[in-house]
C-alpha cells in the first residue's frame, strides 16, 4: 500500500469517526475534525487542516440538513436570518485565523475544545415553543447571535453547532429539536464561507476533503442507526464524548507547547 493510499484511508476513517459521533450524540463531533486532520491524517500545516475540515464539515452538515428538512424540524426563516448575519462574521473570523501562527491557533483551538466539553456537560433539554416565528421581537437577537457565532466558527474553522444551537434557543425560545435542525443551515453557510476564504489562499486540500466527506457521510448513517438503539443512554454517551474532548484538548495543548 502506498503512502498516499494510507493518507487518504486515514482521511476516510477520520471523516467516518466525526460523522459517527455527530449521528450518535447529535452535535459537537466536528470539533474533532481539525485535530484528526493534523495528528492522525498528518496534515502538517494547521491552516490547511482548518480549511480542508471546514469544507468537509459544511458538506456533511448540508447532508444532515436534508433529513431534518424531511422531518419538518427546521425553522427556515429564523435560521436564514441567523446564518446570513453570521456569514460576514465567518469571513472576518477566517481571515483573522489565517493571519495567526498555526501552532498558536491550535493551542487556542484546544481551549475551545475544553469549552465545548463543558457546554455539552451542562446542556439540558428544554420544552421551548415549537410555534416560534421570525418577528420583531427576535430578529435583532438572531442577527447578534448569528454574527458572533459566525466570527467564532470562521476563526477556528469548526461547524460551531455548540454555539449556534444555544444561540438560536436564546434568540427565539425554539425547542432543542428545532434548534438542532435549524443550526445546520448556519453550519453549512459558515463552513462554506470559511472554506472559500482558505481556498483563495490555497489552503484547502480538495482530494483529502473529498475523502473526509465520503467517510463522514457513511459514519453519520451508522451513528444515526446506533443512536436509535441507544436512545435511552444519550446522557451517558454525551458524558463519554465530553471526556474524549477533554483528552484530545490536553493532547493538542501538549503538542502545541512542545512545538512553540
Percentage of the chain with pLDDT > 70? 85
Angstrom distance (rounded) from CA 31 to CA 29: 5
Residues contacting residue 123 through CB under 8 Å, at least 6 positions apart: 166, 238
Chain segment 73-83, per-residue pLDDT in tens: 889 999 999 99
- Provide the CA 193 distance to its chain's centre, in angstroms: 13
Mean pLDDT of 138-155: 88
**Closest to 117 in 3D by CA, of 238, 260, 252:** 238
Q: What is the structure's pLDDT at 5? A: 82
What percent of the residues of the chain are helix, what percent strand, and what percent coil, each to the nearest 5?
85, 0, 15
Angstrom distance (rounded) from CA 229 to CA 223: 10
Reading the block at residue 64, the C-alpha cell is 444532515
Q: What is the structure's pLDDT at 1? A: 43
pLDDT at 113 over 80: no
Average pLDDT taken over every residue of the chain: 81
Q: Are the C-beta atoms of residues 177 and 72 closer than 8 Å to each other?
A: no
Within 10 angstroms of residue 67's Cβ, the number of other Cβ atoms is 15
Mean pLDDT of 162-176: 81
Q: What is the structure's pLDDT at 77? A: 92
Chain segment 187-217, per-residue pLDDT in tens: 889 989 999 999 999 999 999 999 999 998 8
Chain segment 41-74, per-residue pLDDT in tens: 988 888 899 999 989 988 888 887 887 788 788 8
Q: Which residue has the higher pLDDT, 126 or 153?
A: 153
Q: Angle of helix 161-172 relative to helix 102-122, nearest 10 degrees?
A: 50
Q: 99-113, 114-128, 131-145, 172-186 — which is least confidently predicted?
A: 114-128
Q: What is the structure's pLDDT at 87? A: 93
Q: 30-44, 83-97, 135-149, 231-245 — which is least confidently predicted?
A: 231-245
Q: Is 31 left (phi over 0), alpha (psi -120 to 50) or beta?
A: alpha
Q: What is the structure's pLDDT at 48? A: 92
Amino acid at each position: 500500500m502506498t503512502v498516499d493510499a494510507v493518507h487518504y484511508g486515514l482521511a476516510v476513517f477520520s471523516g467516518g469517526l466525526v460523522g459517527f459521533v455527530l449521528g450518535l450524540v447529535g452535535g459537537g463531533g466536528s470539533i474533532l475534525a481539525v485535530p484528526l486532520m493534523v495528528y492522525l491524517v498528518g496534515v502538517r500545516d494547521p491552516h490547511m487542516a482548518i480549511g480542508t475540515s471546514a469544507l468537509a464539515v459544511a458538506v456533511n452538515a448540508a447532508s444532515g440538513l436534508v433529513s431534518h428538512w424531511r422531518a419538518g424540524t427546521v425553522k427556515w426563516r429564523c435560521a436564514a436570518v441567523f446564518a446570513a448575519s453570521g456569514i460576514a462574521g465567518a469571513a472576518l473570523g477566517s481571515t483573522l485565523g489565517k493571519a495567526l501562527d498555526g501552532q498558536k491557533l491550535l493551542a487556542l483551538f484546544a481551549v475551545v475544545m475544553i469549552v465545548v466539553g463543558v457546554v455539552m456537560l451542562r446542556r439540558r433539554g428544554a420544552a421551548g415553543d415549537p410555534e416560534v416565528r421570525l418577528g420583531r421581537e427576535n430578529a435583532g437577537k438572531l442577527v447578534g447571535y448569528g454574527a458572533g457565532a459566525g466570527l467564532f466558527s470562521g476563526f477556528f474553522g469548526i461547524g460551531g453547532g455548540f454555539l449556534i444551537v444555544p444561540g438560536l434557543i436564546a434568540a427565539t425560545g425554539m425547542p432543542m429539536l428545532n434548534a438542532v435542525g435549524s443550526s445546520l443551515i448556519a453550519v453549512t453557510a459558515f463552513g462554506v464561507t470559511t472554506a472559500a476564504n482558505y481556498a483563495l489562499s490555497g489552503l484547502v486540500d480538495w482530494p483529502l476533503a473529498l475523502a473526509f466527506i465520503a467517510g463522514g457521510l457513511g459514519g453519520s448513517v451508522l451513528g444515526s442507526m446506533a443512536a436509535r438503539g441507544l436512545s435511552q443512554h444519550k446522557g451517558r454517551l454525551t458524558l463519554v464524548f465530553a471526556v474524549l474532548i477533554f483528552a484530545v484538548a490536553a493532547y493538542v495543548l501538549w503538542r502545541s507547547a512542545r512545538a512553540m
